Structure 1
Amino acid sequence: MNYWMVKSEPESYSWDDFVAKKEDVWDGVRNYQARNFLREMQLGDWVFFYHSGKEKAIVGIAEVSEEQFPDPTDEAWTAVKLKVKRPLEKSIPLSAIKAEDRLSDLPMLKQARLSVLPVGKDEFELLLKMGS
């Protein structure tokens, strides 16, 4: 199993929007590196849902429910389908992530503009603890 993070501005598409749908296509990614990460996602992988913009916090967990397929908004790109697993008991703000030395190599801290990023297993487990 692999672990990931997807980021969305809550004003455009929030965790609550996602929860209301229960499952949705993660499309509209227009960065080659992020697209390649989408292509690596496998059925059952766990995915943190991060609110970017003003909130800047991990708020929930999703699961890959369908592996890569052509993005319905532009078939030259890639999409996946995600389904809601659960919200975090407490959101994890970016400030807490940055303050935790064991997360210093987290890709989201090094490539902040990417909307799809890998998360290592140890980092994922630590973040889960921080969110409970």
Structure 2
Amino acid sequence: MKSMKLGDLCFFYHSGAKSRRVVGVVEVVRKWYDEGAAVDVKAVGEMRAAVGLAEMKKELKGVEFALFRQPRLSVLPVEKGVWERVCRMGGGYEDDD
């Protein structure tokens, strides 16, 4: 989280045992701060269709993505190509231009 910058877009990911999936996109509006040990984000838009972990693993087979090794991570980097493919899989998100 400490490396996140203002304006960074992030996937909002449900990591529960029954529903591991990308459901939306958020934007960093306050970078890392020690007193909260966090960053602040605001909602950008919901995915038009949630993208499940199993679906991502199938579509991105052979792609190195930390989420596939540790599916309950709360923060991890997403390479541009992976970002674009997951967004395409979900039909984009509300308010994407």
Q: TM-score under structure 1 normalisation?
A: 0.64
Secondary structure at 2:85 match in 1: helix
| Aligned counterparts of 1:94 and 1:81: Cα–Cα separation in 2 | 25
Q: 1:86 to 1:103 in 2, by over 3 A?
A: farther
> Does 1:47 find its partner at 2:6?
no
Unaligned runs of 5+ in 2: 92-97
> Does 1:79 find its partner at 2:38?
yes
| Aligned counterparts of 1:103 and 1:65: Cα–Cα separation in 2 | 33
Give the CA deviation at 1:62.
0.2
**Which residue is equivalent to 2:68?**
109
Identity %: 37
Q: Which amino acid aligns with 2:27?
A: E
| Aligned counterparts of 1:103 and 1:92: Cα–Cα separation in 2 | 18
Secondary structure at 2:55 match in 1: helix
Greater helix content: 1
Contact 1:49–1:62 (8 Å) recurs in 2: yes
Unaligned runs of 5+ in 1: 1-37, 73-77
Give the CA deviation at 1:48.
0.1
> Does 1:131 find its partner at 2:94?
no
Give the CA deviation at 1:71.
4.2
Q: Which amino acid aligns with 1:106?
A: F
Q: 1:68 to 1:111 in 2, by over 3 A?
A: same
- Equivalent in 32, 36, 60 of residue 24 of structure 2: 60
Q: 1:109 to 1:71 in 2, by over 3 A?
A: farther
Contact 1:97–1:103 (8 Å) recurs in 2: no
Q: Which amino acid aligns with 1:41?
A: M
Q: Which amino acid aligns with 1:47?
A: C
Q: TM-score under structure 2 normalisation?
A: 0.85
Secondary structure at 2:6 match in 1: coil
Give the CA deviation at 1:100.
1.3
**Which residue is equivalent to 1:121?**
80
